[in-house]
């Protein structure tokens, strides 16, 4: 009986390790994730959020600096001079990737944060956007 339990436990552990490795090592396609923010109003959805604020190029640069300073955050695509950047922020424990795009659009800055894996981010991306916006105050 113990042998069967050990085999089942080992199999579950093996599948869990494979899942974590897949999350950590799967590539992020820049063309798929570094996209325009098409929203015209603030939105919350199960996998992320969109916020739109007033802002010029200087404010965009400040927002970009705040985003770069977040822990476990790396650039995926874009640039400040282009007025459109996307960053990947990974969770501390497993390394789940969340993507945050900021885009200058006239006198507005559009921010979109969303998850890569799963169905719900439990509000993490919305909170990240709110913290970023609060750094501008």
Neighbours of 112 (CB within 10 A): 23
Rg over CA atoms, the chain? 18
84-90, strands of its sheet edge to edge: 43-45, 48-54, 108-115, 97-105, 84-90, 73-79
Pairing relation of β-strands 97-105 and 73-79? Answer: unpaired
Among residues 25, 39, 55, the alpha carbon closest in space to that of 113 is found at 39
Chain mean position to CA 137: 22
pTM of the prediction?
A: 0.89
| pLDDT one digit per residue (tens) for the chain, 137 residues | 788 888 898 999 999 889 888 888 888 999 999 999 999 999 999 999 999 999 999 999 999 999 999 999 999 999 999 999 999 999 988 889 999 999 999 999 999 999 999 899 999 999 999 999 999 88
């Amino acid at each position: 009986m113990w042998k069967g339990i050990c085999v089942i436990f080992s199999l579950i552990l093996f599948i869990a390790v494979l899942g974590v490795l897949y999350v950590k090592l799967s590539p992020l396609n820049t063309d798929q994730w570094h996209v325009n923010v098409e929203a015209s109003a603030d939105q919350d959805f199960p996998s992320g959020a969109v916020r739109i604020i007033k802002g010029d190029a200087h404010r965009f640069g400040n927002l970009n600096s705040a985003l770069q300073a977040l822990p476990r955050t790396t650039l995926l695509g874009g640039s400040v001079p282009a007025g459109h950047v996307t960053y990947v922020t990974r969770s501390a424990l497993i390394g789940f990737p969340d993507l945050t795009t900021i885009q200058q659009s006239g006198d507005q800055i559009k921010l979109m944060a969303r998850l890569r894996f799963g169905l719900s981010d439990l509000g993490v991306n919305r909170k990240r956007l709110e913290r970023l916006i609060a750094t501008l105050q």
